[in-house]
Amino acid sequence: MKRMPAYLALSDGTLFEGEAAAALLTGEVATGEAVFNTAMSGYQEVITDPSYAGQVVAFTYPHIGNYGVTQRDEESHRAFLSGVVVRDLPVRHSNWRSEGDLESYLAAEGVPAITGIDTRRLTRHLRSRGSLPCAFGTGDPEAIIEAARQAKGTDNQDLASVVSTTEAYRVGSGKLRVVALDLGIKGTILKHLAEFATVEVVPSSTTADEILSLDPDGIFLSNGPGDPAALGHVSETVANVLGKRPVLGICLGHQVLAQSLGGRTYKLPFGHHGSNHPVKRLSNGHVEITAQNHNYAVEEGSVPGAVVTHVNLNDGVIEGIAIPALDAVSVQHHPEAGPGPHDASYLFDEFKVRIIAATGGSL
């Protein structure tokens, strides 16, 4: 396949040569915050994860697209990320589940891509310098470098309101009732919750009074994109429901829960993005291999009344907290996987048990 030459530039002036792909048209420039994902498979789940809004995802695995795409692997109704960077985008795909090829899918979703990039060099650079704004396109390399210097990262951005549902909707039909605050919720999370509950998914702007008026048995705080420090309104909502119902938070929901109690968050140098991060469960010493996708973390010792339940064995980042007095639990990693291992999926079962206990065991 004949492709147009293209360039990827980072905001520090570093330049990479590649070729335009998918929705990257001649003369156009795509921008976003460059991050890398180490998963070897599950690229469609990554591409449709709303938590990647505002980011350009570089896949470290060299062949992306070799097993095609299928609607069954989508995590949301569309792709929210700003672009895709790969080493090789196979022309042919082969898998019994496949319903099409990745490049056509990206083009239909309006996602620009660049292929032929030395993703190993790019990853090493981002590990050394941290996540950086970037730009890529088919134009003059100097103009693309300048576009990268003008590009925005995710700092101080409320991207949860961009990806959140605008209208409440319901999934599942269980006897338990869970309200899920949608900050960028993934479809696989809803599948887990719907196994034991009727789930009312509400916009990120929903107030505490509106949540409690739905008379939930439990409250779920979802994953999502952007800087948790920009979500003061959501933290206020969470603060006003804590202690009134059992709460479970995942990823951004974990960070917002911490903030609602006065905790602080900070940005990691290059974040955690992949399906192979070891996390130690402190209650029993077990090591769980987890899926992760976040650029921010909770500052140790900043959350009053919280007990640390999980830690990342790569860098010591807090991966989970519990506030027993308020019946609230949250984790930084993704127990639903999608893609990734299911070592931490027990957290959904524990949430169910906590909800039943809070209802007096009557359900």
Angle CA 290–238–236, to nearest 5: 125
User: Long-range contacts of range 285-291, CB-CB < 8 Å, 24 or more positions apart?
Assistant: 287/313, 288/341, 288/343, 288/344, 289/341, 289/343, 290/319, 290/333, 290/334, 290/335, 290/340, 290/341, 290/343, 290/344, 291/39, 291/333, 291/334, 291/336, 291/337, 291/338, 291/339, 291/340, 291/341
Q: Does the annotation mark 251 as catalytic?
A: yes
β-pair partners for 247: 219, 328
Please say whether the beta carbons of 144 and 29 come within 8 A: yes
Annotated catalytic residue, options 251, 277, 294, 333: 251
Beta strands in the chain (DSSP E): 5-10, 15-22, 29-37, 55-59, 83-85, 112-115, 132-137, 169-171, 176-181, 197-202, 218-221, 247-250, 265-281, 287-298, 307-312, 318-323, 328-331
Query: Could you give the strand order of the β-sheet that contains 176-181, starting from the edge strand earlier in sequence?
Result: 169-171, 197-202, 176-181, 218-221, 247-250, 328-331, 318-323, 307-312, 265-281, 287-298
Q: Does the annotation mark 294 as catalytic?
A: no
Q: Does the annotation mark 200 as catalytic?
A: no
The candidate with the shortest Cα–Cα distance to 85, out of 148, 2, 20, 27, is 20
- Catalogue the active-site residues: 251, 334, 336
